[in-house]
Amino acid sequence: MENLESKRYKEFYSLESRHYHALRYETLYGRLFQSLHHYVLREVLDPLTRQAKVLEVACGTGHITKLFVDMGFRPVACDLTPQMMHQARARCQGLSLFLETDAFQLPFPNGIFDALISTRFLHLFPHEQQQLLFVEMLRVLRPGGLLVVDFDNFFSRWLLAVPFLIYNLIRYHRVAPDSIYNRIKATEKTLNKLGVNETLCYGIGGTHLVVPCWFSQNLAFFLGLKHQRKPLRCLAEQFIICGRKGP
């Protein structure tokens, strides 16, 4: 049975699905973010065999699911919102299995997936609920399996408070997004305690990169790549953590 919070998100994203993809991935900055996001994920996922069992949690409109398919994987993708998955299914042309499900109660046996990816999702939840989601994700991941998750970056949110304010006023007509911000070290420490080893962290994007976008997408992409690692990682809008589930 859906809890009240899940019901609220389902109703919100059912309406949001009509313009979700266009707002996030078809603007000048959205295209840059998608390119940087895909660049890192290709690097992280490429070592997997294409027969690997891959699960995407909260696939949305298929921004990442389509990348899996293009790389030769046949992922299982799940989301709470059928309207979002309808778009994802169209993008993947039937080459992925889609399931409507709540991420807090994944309908899979223990340890059956070789890799689990969840992007642009965990920032919706307070840190205590993030940990519950980590536990459920790790439950369905086999020992040694790859976990890839991302978060909104606490440091860039406050270091670049004015650009964030301007971007949200222009793009979404609001002062700030409905988002939980994570610290990199604290998040790595939490995952380590839950049994995730060999963690690596990559910075993704940054709303300030919209300025070089006006002049050159290639220049903005080059600068964006520099945000993957220290010292510029602190300026990245989001960060991806990947690691292996312990035995």
CATH of the domain at 69: 3.40.50.150
Model pLDDT for residues 195-219, shown as the tens digit of each residue: 999 999 999 999 889 899 999 999 9
- Decide if 232 is inside a domain: no
How much is the pLDDT for 163? 67
- Decide if 64 is inside a domain: yes
**Are the C-beta atoms of 118 and 136 separated by less than 8 Å?**
no
How much is the pLDDT for 208? 87
- Decide if 228 is inside a domain: no
How much is the pLDDT for 23? 86
Q: How many domains does the chain have?
A: 1
How much is the pLDDT for 3? 67
How much is the pLDDT for 121? 95
Containing structural domain, residue 194? 4-152+184-202+238-242
Residues 68 and 236: their CA atoms lie apart, in Å, by: 24
Give the residues of the chain that fall short of pLDDT 50. 1
Q: How many CB atoms lie within 10 A of CB 8?
A: 11
Q: Which helix (H) or strand (E) holds 129?
A: helix 127-139
Residue 200 three-state SS: strand
How much is the pLDDT for 8? 82
How much is the pLDDT for 1? 41
How much is the pLDDT for 172? 58
Q: What b/e string do you get for 12-39 counting C-beta neighbours within 10 Å, with b at 16 or more?
A: ebeebbeebbeebbeeebbebbbbbbbb
How much is the pLDDT for 66? 97
How much is the pLDDT for 174? 58
